[in-house]
Amino acid sequence: MLAKGNRITSADDYRVVVRRGAKVATPHTVSYVRSRVADSDARFGFIVSKKVGTAVRRNRVRRRLKALSREALLAGARDVDVVVRALPGAAEVTWPQLRSEVLTALARRHVIEMSRLESSLPVTGSGMPGGTPTVTPTPASKAVHDA
């Protein structure tokens, strides 16, 4: 979970960032970036509508976006408000592709420096923060039933 100081919590703040912020579109997200007062923490907000998918899919996308915001904070994001809107295809995209899209969009708006990001983060074997393994469900047709 992001610290309270790093979250956009009010609807008015979301509205201001989306309406007045600089927009960067990628195939699966749209990021809005708005400058804040100097020497303030970066704040992040996420918009994941029902068009993205079921509650499980939306929450997975939101968790991934939160992980990316933590990476951006580690890479030195400051003095900005960022709102990331997930587009309908965001639930099907892989973690590395979503990570690349969002972090590249933030770098284009000078929120982070990619060189600083690469040197500040450990690389895990699974491609997810914290090394969370991917579990593939067994198809129902291969399930064994005892009579």
Tell me how far apart the alpha carbons of residues 134 and 132 are, in angstroms, rounded to a whole number: 7
Residue 145, number of CB atoms within 10 A of its CB:
4
Q: What is the residue extent of each domain of the chain?
A: 24-122
Structure tokens at 100: 């690349």
What confidence tens digit (pLDDT) does each residue in 112-125 have? 987 766 655 444 44
Q: Answer yes or no: are the C-beta atoms of 48 and 83 closer than 8 Å.
A: no
* CATH placement of domain 24-122: 3.30.230.10
Residue 40 has pLDDT above 80, yes or no: yes
Q: What is the DSSP letter of 75?
A: T
The chain-wide mean pLDDT, for the chain, equals: 84
Enter the pTM of the model.
Answer: 0.77
Nearest Cα neighbor of 93 from 130, 119, 68, 121 is 68
